[in-house]
Structure formats: C-alpha cells, structure tokens
Amino acid sequence: MSSSILVTGGAGFIGSALVRRLLLSTESNIVVLDALTYAGNLENLDGVIDGHRCRFLRGSITDTRLVETILQGEKFDGIINCAAESHVDRSIESAVPFIHTNVVGTQVLLDVARRQNVRRFLQMSTDEVYGDLPRNADAFRSTSPLAPSSPYSASKAAADLLVLAAHRTHGQDVVITRCSNNYGPRQFPEKFIPLMILNALEGRPLPVYGDGRQIRDWIHVDDHCEAVIRAYHDGDSGAVYTIGGDCERENIDVVHMILKATASASAVTHVTDRPGHDRRYAIDVSETATRLGWTPSIRFEDGLAETIEWYRTHQAWWTNVKSGDYRTYYERHYGSFHEGTL
C-alpha cells in the first residue's frame, strides 16, 4: 500500500466528494482532518470512513501541535488543503475566523509539511481571488492579477501567496487550484444553489441579491474533484491551475431553472445586494485542459437536475443541517434585508 494523503476539510461539501473520488482513483490511504465547524458534517462521509483505508480526525488546521503529531505518525505523500471558512456573506459579517483558518491554518500546514518532508501540498483555492470581471473582458487565466473583493477572497488570496512563497523560499512542492462556483450533493444550504432549491421545495421566497444579473461559472463538484486529483498527481510544482465549468449563467436564470425543475410556486424576491458584490466570474479552462488533459464533463442542466433530486430525496440530511445555528444565521442575515429596495 502506498503512503497516505491528508485531506483537510474532508467533511465539507467539496472535501467529502474529493475523499470519495480519491478512494476510487488512488491506492493511497486517506486521513481526513476536519474541525467540524457549522459547515462540516460527518454524515457527508457516511459509508466512507472505515478506520483503515480512510480515517477521520477531528481538529483544526491551525493547531500546530496536532498537525505535527498527525504528520509524524505515518508517511504522508501529500496534503490536499480543502479546509476553509468558505462563505462570502459570513466573511462580510465577521472576517477574523477567515483569517485564522484560511491564512494562519494554511501557513501551519505548510510549515509542518516542510518539517515532516511531506512531498506535495495542494492548496484548493478559488477564482474569487481574481475579483470582479467586466462583462466584455476575457475569462480569468492562471496569470490574471489578484484583486480580491471580499474578506473571504482576500484571505484565500493571502493563503495562495503564502503557498507560492513557500515554493520560492523553501523549494516546497506546491500546487494551487483555482476553481469557479461548485454545485452538487451535500452543499451547505447557505450557498446559492442549495438555498434556492430548498426554498423552492419548501415554498419559501427565493432571495435574489440586487438585480440578479450577476454571472457565475458553474461546475459540478465531481468535475472539480477530478481536476484537483489530476493537479495533485501531474501538476507542475509551483503551478497554478484554473478550473471551471465553461458555464456562465446569470443568477436570475438559475433561479428560474430551479423554479421550473421543482414546479415550485415560490416567489422570487429581490433583496438588498451583497456589499462589494462581484458581478462576473469566468474561467478560461484551455490552459488546464492542455496541461492536465482534463475538461469538465457534466452538463449544467443534467448536474442541476441530479442535485435537485438529491435534495428532494435527502430531507433528513438538510433538516439536520438547517436546525440550530443555521436557523439563527438565516434569520439574522435574511431578516435584516429589505425586500424590493432595488
């Protein structure tokens, strides 16, 4: 059996999909390190953690001593860092947790990985580090300038720079992936697509920020994970890979697709816009396609239908995650918006 891979944030939306895919496509053992914040959920790894091939450890990537103990305990080939505070709206409300996990946590992992001779470090980053893209501008490429708009994206950009600094200064073997908006099963309902699906299924209003004409590039989480695995195995050290679904859509159009697919009579409600809201993201995947032999394969219409079906058939999952803290967040966040203020 080959050495292990540490997947941080593996109980989250993308991390859990990545763990599933890694178990199928590699021979490595997988160790998941996750703090189980509000967004982490062990149910996301149901049927996956077996205590042998795949093990789970609860803890924070900011805890140097814990990370050191884990990496000393067995031979790790690499770390794939998916752990993060990931929601833009929450970063606007309170930025400090984003700095702790996304910036300090990444540096802790880099330092300990270097001390323990871990071969490769993959940082799962985001296209949001490039900021707002004008409608008529060419899509982001790996070399586009960093211009983050929100505390979330600024913390991710800071982490990317620390990862590149570790490569330049210490010769560390690092790879960065920057992906556009993911959707798919097990996404926490604070995010746009699951929030709209669940509100549509429950007959609640769909809160569209501003005019709803902001553009996001949507990619199925499984397509993202496949690209990350290729970058982990075949990516050049020090390289940045942009990943996207080649699927730009206005938010309002996605909302109407969801209403139609769920046959919901829910109202669309235009609410006060997100401060500093980026109007458009778009990714040029041609470079990554050439360098990694990867292209997205799941059509948005098919992936969205499959995702809606997943939420329809997993009510216990979302009833659990929507109770408690999330309810308080939802009421605080959406309760404070004024409808019809466009």
| Residue 196 interacting with ligand NAD (CB under 6 A) | no
Nearer residue to ligand NAD within complex by CB, 142 or 269: 142
* Partner in contact with 216, chosen from ligand NAD, ligand DAU, none, beta carbon below 5 to 8 Å by kind: ligand DAU
- By beta carbon distance, the residue nearest ligand DAU is 126
Q: Catalytic annotation on 68?
A: no
Which residues inside 258-297 make contact with ligand DAU, applying CB under 6 A?
Answer: 274, 281
Q: Which two tokens stand for residue 325?
A: 């803290």
Q: Where are the alpha helices (DSSP H) in the chain?
A: 13-25, 64-73, 88-93, 96-98, 106-115, 151-170, 192-202, 221-234, 251-262, 286-292, 300-313, 315-322, 325-335
* Spatial separation of the C-alpha atoms in residues 22 and 33, rounded to whole Å: 15
| Residue 15 interacting with ligand NAD (CB under 6 A) | yes
What residues form DSSP beta bridges with 215? 250, 280
| Residue 155 interacting with ligand DAU (CB under 6 A) | no
In a 3-state reduction of DSSP, which class is residue 192?
helix
Q: Catalytic annotation on 127?
A: yes
Active-site residue, from 152, 183, 232, 311: 152
Q: Directed axis angle between helix 251-262 and helix 300-313, to 10°?
A: 50
| Residue 189 interacting with ligand NAD (CB under 6 A) | no
Is 56 within 8 Å of 49 (Cβ atoms)?
yes
4, 7, 9, 130: which one binds ligand NAD (CB under 6 A)? 9
| Residue 123 interacting with ligand DAU (CB under 6 A) | no
| Residue 113 interacting with ligand NAD (CB under 6 A) | no
Taking residue 191's Cβ as centre, other Cβ atoms within 10 Å add up to: 18
Is 87 within 8 Å of 62 (Cβ atoms)?
no
* Partner in contact with 184, chosen from ligand NAD, ligand DAU, none, beta carbon below 5 to 8 Å by kind: none
Q: Catalytic annotation on 152?
A: yes
209, 310, 329, 337: which one binds ligand DAU (CB under 6 A)? 209
Smallest separation (angstroms) from ligand NAD to the CB of 305: 19
Nearer residue to ligand NAD within complex by CB, 35 or 166: 35
Is 285 within 8 Å of 246 (Cβ atoms)?
yes
| Residue 37 interacting with ligand NAD (CB under 6 A) | yes
* Spatial separation of the C-alpha atoms in residues 129 and 84, rounded to whole Å: 14
| Residue 36 interacting with ligand NAD (CB under 6 A) | yes
* Partner in contact with 209, chosen from ligand NAD, ligand DAU, none, beta carbon below 5 to 8 Å by kind: ligand DAU
Is 79 within 8 Å of 118 (Cβ atoms)?
yes
Please enumerate in sequence order all residues whose Cβ is within 8 A of that of 10, keeping only pairs 6 or more positions apart, or say none: 16, 18, 19, 30, 32, 33, 34, 45, 56, 82
Smallest separation (angstroms) from ligand NAD to the CB of 83: 4
* Interacting residues toward ligand NAD by CB under 6 A: 8-9, 11-15, 33-37, 39-40, 60-62, 82-86, 101, 105, 124, 126, 156, 179, 181-182, 188
Q: For binding to ligand DAU (CB under 6 A), which residues are involved?
A: 86-88, 126-128, 180-181, 191-192, 195, 207-209, 214, 216, 251, 274, 281
Q: Give the residue numbers annotated as catalytic, written as ranges.
A: 127-128, 152
